Amino acid sequence: MERERVSINASRRHLDDAGMGLPEVMIAMVLFALISLGMLYTMTAVKTSTRDTRARQVAANLAASEIDAAREIEDLFGLLDDVKRVDVGSDSYTVTRTTAWVSDPEESFTCGNSGTGGRLRYKSVHVDVTWDNMRNSAAPVSSHTVLNPNERINDPSKGTILVSVIDDSGFGSAGVSVTAQRVGGGGTVTGTTDSQGCAYLLKVDPDTYRVSVSKSGFVDINQDANPVIEVGVTAGGSGSAGFQYAEAATYRPRYFAEDIPSALVSVNSETTFRSTYSTSTLPGTSNPGNFSLHPLNSGYEVFYGNCPAADPSAWTETEDPATGEVLVGVPVIAEAVDPGAVTEVDVPVGAVEVNIPNNRHLKAVSVGTGRADPGWQAGPDEVPYCASGTELRFGNSGGTTRTIYLPFGSWELRSGDSARASGSVIAGSNITPLTAGNMAGNQVTLDPRVPLEEEVEEP
């Protein structure tokens, strides 16, 4: 028994002398790593906080300097948006200046335009400063001020013309030439819009001016390349003019009738472009045509001609007496084109074949008593008409058989010795409608309506 106790005590002393085993070592290393990481995170957080605090102090100084520089500028019209990089020590900062004319410090407005011929508005200046490697959650350092141009530029005996030019999206159109011509004669003042689409014609004599804008390839909402607005200027006051003016979109209408891919188009033809804002009728003699229009997100409905009958959607529902089918007008689908882009638009037309003596000029004269404005819609059992006497001239192409495209509606065909001659009425026996329509004596009516099940639904 004594020997067993001695053996057990010796074993215990042996285990005590062996130290920590592998599990204890692993646990100790994990604890050491956790403590080290905690200390490292704390040191990094302190360092980052210190760096961020220093960076924000520098950024605040840069913002204040930018505001002070804006206050020193004499010509506030030259104070525009700007972005610049500034290096301070090993850090790089981005200073962003945003400017805008406002009616008062609480409202947003453009080009200092009061619209009342009164005092100029204030100019708001906002500065944001950011820096490289700033924390994602950190906000930029900002500074703001409002400046009053009346104290700097107004001449009590002169006036100012403020011009605002925006594009189709409502943003300023830069680089647009502005001209103000005195209505009574005696002088012209010019300028160019800045990056915000603003131009300022300073110290002009009190009078009425015709203000126009121009830039190659640009048109306004009324398809005018050089729109004009009259502006009155009083001593010590300001007049204003606003334009929606943008780089044109190009529409290329392709006039065609089903199974008749090619025919003569009138040399004095017109194409209608209808939008939610206005309806424009433009001349064009080629097929496809080529038209520069103000770009609109909603696009334009396009049809050949310029009267209610020419619009396929203006024809009301009816029943075909021969087949009993229900016939309906076809909606005109609006097509949108981006500024500077080109698109082709399929435009349906009517077509006829006509036999006339050789070397004679051919023309079509509209026949009808309906209203002539394109916005008119025919009522039940009514057929839309083009105003009587509208002439489409097809020239002298030679030959005795000619195929021509016509807007929908009722027409009388004539031939003469010259393009302007009234000519002789061509007998109905020499006219063959190639698209849906009918003959009534010497008059041909081209009807765009289709069976109800074939109607093209507007999206």
pLDDT per residue as tens digits for the range 390-407: 889 998 877 789 999 999
Stretch among 189-193, 389-393, 418-422 having the lowest mean pLDDT: 418-422
pLDDT of residue 33: 73
Q: Which residue has the tokens 């020193």?
A: 72
pLDDT of residue 48: 56
Higher pLDDT, 43 or 450: 450
What is the separation, in whole angstroms, between the first and last Cα of the chain? 105
pLDDT > 70 fraction of the chain, expressed in percent and rounded: 82
Is the pLDDT assigned to residue 374 strictly greater than 60? no
Give the model's confidence band at 208: pLDDT under 50 very low, under 70 low, under 90 confident, else very high.
very high
Omega before 288 within 30 of 0, i.e. cis: yes
Specify which residues 231 forms β-bridges with: 209
Q: What tokens appear for 71 in the block?
A: 């206050």
Residue 455: CB atoms within 10 Å: 16
pLDDT of residue 11: 52
Higher pLDDT, 226 or 154: 226
Question: Which residues, including other chains, have CB under 8 Å from residue 238's CB and lie 6 or more apart?
Answer: 112, 114, 117, 118, 119, 120, 159, 160, 161, 162
**How does 257-288 read in b/e, with b if 16+ C-beta sit within 10 Å?**
beebeebbbbeebbbbbbbeeeebebebeebb
Is the pLDDT assigned to residue 56 strictly greater than 80? yes
pLDDT of residue 286: 84
Mean pLDDT of all residues in 24-38 = 73
pLDDT of residue 47: 55
Stretch among 7-21, 91-105, 218-232, 428-442 having the lowest mean pLDDT: 7-21
pLDDT digits (tens, 9 = 90+) for 94-150: 999 988 776 555 554 567 654 444 455 678 899 999 988 887 777 888 988 888 765
pLDDT of residue 120: 58
pLDDT of residue 118: 44
Give the model's confidence band at 17: pLDDT under 50 very low, under 70 low, under 90 confident, else very high.
low
Mean pLDDT of all residues in 44-69 = 79
pLDDT of residue 12: 52
pLDDT of residue 117: 41
Is the pLDDT assigned to residue 373 strictly greater than 50? no
- Domains of the chain (ranges; CATH) run 77-151 (no CATH), 159-247 (2.60.40.1120), 262-454 (no CATH)
Higher pLDDT, 409 or 49: 409
Mean pLDDT of all residues in 185-196 = 86
pLDDT of residue 196: 81
pLDDT of residue 368: 74
Cα distance between residue 223 and residue 454, in whole Å: 34
Rg (CA), the chain: 39
Please state, in angstroms and as integers, the Cα–Cα distance from residue 458 to each residue in 226, 330, 452, 455, following that order. 34, 9, 14, 9
Higher pLDDT, 241 or 378: 241
pLDDT of residue 304: 93
Q: What tokens appear for 230 in the block?
A: 């009259």
Is the pLDDT assigned to residue 284 strictly greater than 50? yes
Q: Which residue has the tokens 């004319």?
A: 101
pLDDT of residue 303: 93
Give the model's confidence band at 38: pLDDT under 50 very low, under 70 low, under 90 confident, else very high.
low
pLDDT of residue 153: 55
Cβ contact 93:59 at 8 Å: yes
Q: What is the pLDDT of the chain when averaged over all its residues?
A: 81
Mean pLDDT of all residues in 406-427 = 89
Please state, in angstroms and as integers, the Cα–Cα distance from residue 175 to each residue in 169, 192, 199, 200, following that order. 17, 6, 10, 13
Cα distance between residue 336 and residue 431, in whole Å: 37
Please state, in angstroms and as integers, the Cα–Cα distance from residue 49 to each residue in 39, 52, 113, 131, following that order. 15, 5, 46, 14
Is the pLDDT assigned to residue 159 strictly greater than 60? yes
